[in-house]
Amino acid sequence: MIIPGAAGLLPDELNQYYMLSPSFRGKQIFRQIAQGKLSFAEMTDLPASMRSSLAAWPLRRASVAEKLAGEDASVKLKLRLHDGAAVEAVLLSDKEGRLTACLSSQVGCPMACAFCKTGTLGFLRNLAADEIVEQFLFLADLGAKPQNIVFMGMGEPLLNLEAIRKAVSILTHPEGLNISKRKITISTCGIVPGIMDLADNGPWLRLAVSLTSADDKTRSALMPVNQKWKLAELKKALLYYQNKTGDRISLEAAIMGGENSDIASARAMAEWIKPLKAQVNIIPWNPVPELPYKKPERQELEVFERELQRLGINIVRRARRASSVSGACGQLGDTLLHNAPDSSNTP
């Protein structure tokens, strides 16, 4: 029997699972989990008899296997899960000192994007809601509660949408961490049914989509997801999401030297974006030693960016953060899966 982690339960579920009475005990426990308590023994506002009866139940199922501190105040944690598998979570700090928690949604990733380290691992399983929430709690243990959350870690969030929904309901709950949904970004490589589901059923978070190229041939070579859902289908889904939510969409463009960095690529991207209310986040490719790509030259990147701007596209160049701990975009995956990868969830 797998004992569920309390971090994945809402107040009413805590009451039901632990058979608590009176019912306000669930809220008490929920609040203290959010505050970082690691055991029921630490919850001194509970009666001693209740603390004793609950002592054998874990509040968290994962543990920190490795901690790496970066030169830019970033921290990467490798978390060992209850079954021996591992995932990585990253704490990012910007120039103003605002903290962002970068969370994983799967062990490994089935999407096999050619330029991403995680894509080389294969796929083991989805994470449960408590395993997602615990990543945030472990990052908050480092000293301060992150103000922002990005589901941009290991895995494809829209292939684990129900667990994401449950985790978000916990992370945003007013009795607990109370993170604003406007401070949460969910990133996808382009799972069209997941985008439609998110538009119809929520939660309405900030949406980021890894675009990388607006040429079907190039994108299919770099991102196998494009072999199932072409760019035209992806744009249709994004327009549907935008019409439902009214939100601007972020388009992530990982730029690799000599691959997708020329003026023709910029013009194709600008043409594809036109109907969308979108911002393009330019991400100079973060090196992964075993992958056959290279960082774009400075001039190469500037020419690409200028052409997008000339064509009226709003762009932001993403700062390279956490690269010193292999925690930047596309670098996560210094973990060993304890079983052979399973590709059964590949679209």
> Where do we find the tokens 């970082």?
36
Token duo for residue 146 = 């992150």
Structure tokens at 95: 């120039």
What is the C-alpha to C-alpha distance for residues 270 and 309, in angstroms, rounded to an integer? 9
Q: What phi and psi, each to the nearest 5 degrees, are found at residue 282?
A: -80, 125
C-alpha to C-alpha distance for 23 and 14, rounded to whole angstroms: 9
In contact, 76 and 322? CB cutoff 8 Å:
yes
Query: Is 109 an annotated catalytic residue?
Result: no
Q: How far apart are CA 59 and CA 42, in angstroms?
A: 11
- Give the CA angle between residues 33, 35, 36 to the nearest 5°: 70
Integer CA distances (angstroms), 94 to 133, 188, 237, 334, in order: 22, 23, 31, 24
Q: Rounded to whole angstroms, how far apart are CA atoms 79 and 152?
A: 16
Question: Encoding tokens for residue 309?
Answer: 């701007």
d(CA 76, CA 218): 32
> What's the CA gap between 335 and 160, in Å, rounded?
20
Under DSSP, the state recorded for 283 is E
Cβ neighbours for 132, distance < 8 A, ≥ 6 positions apart: 8, 103, 104, 105, 163, 164, 167
- Catalytic: which of 102, 109, 113, 329? 329
Place of tokens 């690691």: 38
Q: Active site residue: 42, 66, 88, 305, which one?
A: 88
Task: Work out the end-to-end distance of the chain between its first and last CA atoms, rounded to an integer number of angstroms.
Answer: 30
Catalytic: 71? Answer: no
Q: Strand 184-188 relative to strand 123-126: parallel, antiparallel, unpaired?
A: unpaired
Q: Which two tokens stand for residue 339?
A: 């079983």
- Enumerate the active-site residues: 88, 329
